[in-house]
Structure 1
Amino acid sequence: MGLRELKRERTRRLISDKAFELFTDHGFGRTTVEQIAAAAEVGPSTLYRYFPTKETLVLEFVENSLFGALDWFREQPADLELPDALEQVIGRVLDQMDSNPDRVRAVYELAGQTPSLSAHLTDAIWRWRKDLSVELVRRSSGTSTELTAKLAAGTTMNIIEIVVETWVDHPNGPTVKQLAEKTLELFRDNTIPLPRARQ
């Protein structure tokens, strides 16, 4: 990364960090873009270049975690077994979440209090599921239908969501990795009751 890119990344991170401080202290709705810009010592127009909306300030970390793992998957060789790849995708998302637990908990708390944030988070999750299913179809070489890919993508996202939600709700409980391993074991052992087609 060049000096210019490094400076841009530092500015981006500073804006995001100052915004979270203000959101935590004053609430999302009562914090203005002007207050965030002043705290980060940048102009409002500079802030908007980095973050088009207040919602993107909050959700950037979660979106980067999700779509960064998806980008990694797209770069993997075609012969990578899909079950192994999806398990690694889950692990990569959760590792990112685990790297900044305070930020993740703040995102979920703010989303729970703010309908616009909740809607943006839901939209990001649906976009990720759709993009993952498209990649699964592309990699299947005709052996996987769109329906199968959507089910696999939905299950992958559900695992991530439930692990993170459980972890956020129980800060003194198991770690993200422990919860993920337990969840995957339940799938491997066929412990989870799932609907079946009639015989």
Structure 2
Amino acid sequence: MGLRELKMQRTRLQIANKALELFAAQGFEATTIEQVAVAAEVGTRTLYRYFPTKESLIAGFVEEHLTDSLEVMRAQPADRPLPEALHVVLDRLMRVVAEDAQRVRAVYALARHTDSLQARLAEQTWRWRNELAEEIATRVGGPSAGLKAALSAAATMGLIEVVLREWVDGDGRRPLREITQDALKLLHTGDIPLPEHRG
């Protein structure tokens, strides 16, 4: 990464961090783009170059984490069993989230009371789930490959969302890894009520 890219990355992070501080202190709706620009010591036009909407100030780093996990999935050897590959992806995502714990919890707290943020985050997870399903489908054979891939991606995303909610609701007191392992165990032991299969 060149000096210009490093400077842009630092500026982007500085803006996002200041935005999150203001949103947490004043509320998302009450905070203006101009206030964020002043706090981050950049011009409003510069801020808009990095973040075209107020929601993107929050959603940007979430997007980075999700994109990173997809790249990890795509980098898995083609002959690696899918359960192993998905575990690598899950482990990477949860490790990154744990390292960024303060921001992740702050974002969840904001999203609970901000419809536009909820919509933006839902759009991100929907897109991530579809892209993961596409990657899984390339590794699954048979006539039901698409359906299997879609179910696998949906289950993975569902697990991530439930684990994160449990972790945030507990104020991070339980280690994220521990909650993840508990959730995986429940899924794999079949101790989760599902719609009955008839026929």
Partner residue, 1:36:
36
Q: Does 1:146 align with 2:116?
A: no
Is 1:189 matched up with 2:184? no
User: Which secondary structure does the structure 1 equivalent of 2:191 belong to?
Assistant: coil
In structure 1, the partner of 2:7 is 7
Please give the TM-score of this superposition, normalised by the length of structure 1. 0.95
TM-score by length of 2: 0.95
Answering whether residue 95 of structure 2 is matched by residue 95 of structure 1, we say yes
- Per-residue Cα deviation, 1:120-144 (whole angstroms, up to 9, x for no partner): 0111111111111111112225565
User: How do residues 163-178 of structure 1 correspond to structure 2 at under 5 angstroms?
Assistant: 163-171=163-171, 173-178=173-178
- Please state whether the residue corresponding to 1:197 is helix, strand or coil: coil
Q: Secondary structure at the match of 2:151?
A: helix
Taking the TM superposition and a 5 Å limit, the aligned residue runs for 1:1-199 are: 1-142=1-142, 144-171=144-171, 173-199=173-199
Offset from partner CA, 1:69-111 (integer Å, 9 cap, x none): 0111112221111111111211111111111211111111111
- Percent identity, aligned pairs only, is 48
Distance in structure 2 (CA, Å) of the matches to 1:84 and 1:13? 33
Number of aligned positions between the proteins: 199
Shift of 1:190: 1.8
The 2-side partners of 1:172 and 1:113 are apart by: 20
Give the alignment's Cα RMSD to 1 decimal. 1.4
CA distance in 1, matches of 2:172, 2:12: 31
C-alpha displacement of 1:196? 3.8
Letter in 1 for 2:51: F
Deviations, residues 164-184 of structure 1 (Å, cap 9, x unaligned): 000000025321000001111
Tell me, which stretches of 5 or more residues in structure 1 are unaligned? none
Matched-pair contact (CA < 8 Å) for 1:137–1:144 = no
